[in-house]
Amino acid sequence: MNMTQQQYIEEAEKALLHTYNRYQVVLDRGEGVYLYDLDGKKYLDFASGIAVFALGYHYQDYDDALKAQIDKLIHTSNYYYNVPAVEAAKKLKAVSGMDRVFFTNSGAEAIEGAIKAARKYAFLKDGKTDHEIIAMEHSFHGRTMGALSVTGNPKYREAFEPGIGNIRFARMNDFDSVLSCVSDKTCAILLETVQGEGGVFPAQEAFLKSLRALCDERDILLILDEIQCGMGRTGAMFAWQKYGVKPDIMTCAKALGCGVPVGAFLMTEKVGANSLKAGDHGTTYGGNPLACAAVCKVLDLFEKNHIIEHVNEVSGYLEEKLDAIAAKYERVLARRGMGLMQGLVLDGPAAPVIASAMEDGLILINAGPNILRFVPPLVITAGEVDEMAKILDRCLAKEA
């Protein structure tokens, strides 16, 4: 007997650990940039699974590649080589300009690996274990203990202290605040190139370039978190490429697999040759054939279908539409963002607008309590941007 949406929700609340306040909908299937719930209601998706489904849903070439890999081999462990991992690493190196790749299962795990690599790099220089990492206020890097320790929002950390220790927090786009944190113990500076959960804040070019120069001068590693802003979302494969500021270590995940759980941390040859060695780091599932087949196909489709060029074409139109809405409503204080990673700052909570939009068939998410976040699939069209803007306009008018 088929259960109703409400019955599934009730069963979920009995069985699943309540760490999410979920929207009261059971999503069942997707097609293009639309999702459908169990009752068949259609939703325009401007969240894409939190910036994951860059290619949209049910993308045939992607689906076929995964099905073919399932028929061959899903998992072997890292005791052995596998062809998709080698091919995925080669393609990822080509689009990033980095030299070494370690595949993980998530963005948080990629951050964990980046932290370990930075500390091992410093340890091999002086044999000490008291090195410090500078992270940014209002940042978000994940929920595991290391990633949580470098997340610059105390409310996420306070119940789980002490974290990994030796972390200092500076202010995004404030180079003097970074300088005030630097000491002889500093081994790395870590930041999101565009802050996501913290409110869709892009780094300023002068700030990033100053960090790069500081790191070069003192042999500090620059770690850029591209988990949300990477993979074409800002109009370059990785946001740092728009600034011309290359990191020593970078992390990515989310759209890297377009739905299959996979992340990676990448590094330059200098860091790779002087940090993690055999036995220092590992993962059972990371880099398995299925996940890496997804990475290979995603990178192939980005190139074949000119996804980044499309982002640059449609993102300007999205900005125009959001700017028009911001000009129309006093409660919209500002728009900020880059490419198809945009935010509208409201003068009050975003939650009522998000709930109203969902009622009207539009999926949005927030980035902090008062910011509407727009991270649609990268294949979104101008017509679908128009559809979103009409629904959002109705919702804001209703809330006014």
Domains of the chain by start residue, with CATH: 5-59+306-399 (3.90.1150.10), 73-304 (3.40.640.10)
Please tell me the pTM assigned to this model: 0.97
Residue 176 C-alpha from the chain's centroid: 27
Pick from 260, 171, 227: which is nearest to 51 by CA?
A: 227
What DSSP string runs through 206-248? Answer: HHHHHHHHHHHHHTPEEEEE-TTTTTTTTSSSSTHHHHT---S
Q: Which pLDDT tens digits describe the chain residue by residue (400 residues)?
A: 689 999 999 999 999 999 999 999 999 999 999 999 999 999 999 999 999 999 999 999 999 999 999 999 999 999 999 999 999 999 999 999 999 999 999 999 999 999 999 999 999 999 999 999 999 999 999 999 999 999 999 999 999 999 999 999 999 999 999 999 999 999 999 999 999 999 999 999 999 999 999 999 999 999 999 999 999 999 999 999 999 999 999 999 999 999 999 999 999 999 999 999 999 999 999 999 999 999 999 999 999 999 999 999 999 999 999 999 999 999 999 999 999 999 999 999 999 999 999 999 999 999 999 999 999 999 999 999 999 999 999 999 987 6
- Strand arrangement of the beta sheet that strand 34-37 belongs to: 27-31, 34-37, 42-45, 362-363
